[in-house]
Amino acid sequence: QKEVEQDPGPLSVPEGAIVSLNCTYSNSAFQYFMWYRQYSRKGPELLMYTYSSGNKEDGRFTAQVDKSSKYISLFIRDSQPSDSATYLCAMSKGQNFVFGPGTRLSVLP
């Protein structure tokens, strides 16, 4: 079993839809959970991070962590074509930092 699993997509949604992106992981020691966005031919950029379980909201983005299920989610409300990118989850404990493979999202106008 891979340490972090993520549906690679591609995921295509119409503009304005609510998008749900998910990752599962196996190492219960992870403490911080992050989401990165990577546009084509660009480096990933940190969107948001969450410590331990719970929700965190930032504008149209909501990150959710369920440590008991080892499951994290990123919700995008009112999705826009500019949200089209690859979304990578990441998790860490100290210097142990692991990325998921990424989900390609296309928001169609």
State the residues that interact with another protein by CB under 8 A.
Answer: 31-32, 34, 36, 41-46, 49, 51, 88, 90, 92-95, 97, 99-102, 104
Nearer to another protein, 34 or 63 (CB): 34
3-state secondary structure of 87: strand
Nearer to another protein, 8 or 81 (CB): 8
- The Cα–Cα gap between 84 and 34 comes to 18
State the nearest-atom distance from the C-beta of 87 to another protein, in Å. 12
What's the half-sphere exposure (Cβ side, CA atoms, 13 Å) at 72? 35
Could you tell me if residue 5 is left (phi over 0), alpha (psi between -120 and 50 degrees) or otherwise beta?
beta
State the nearest-atom distance from the C-beta of 92 to another protein, in Å. 6
Q: What is the CA radius of gyration of the chain?
A: 13
Nearer to another protein, 73 or 92 (CB): 92
State the nearest-atom distance from the C-beta of 69 to another protein, in Å. 22
At residue 21, what is the residue type? L
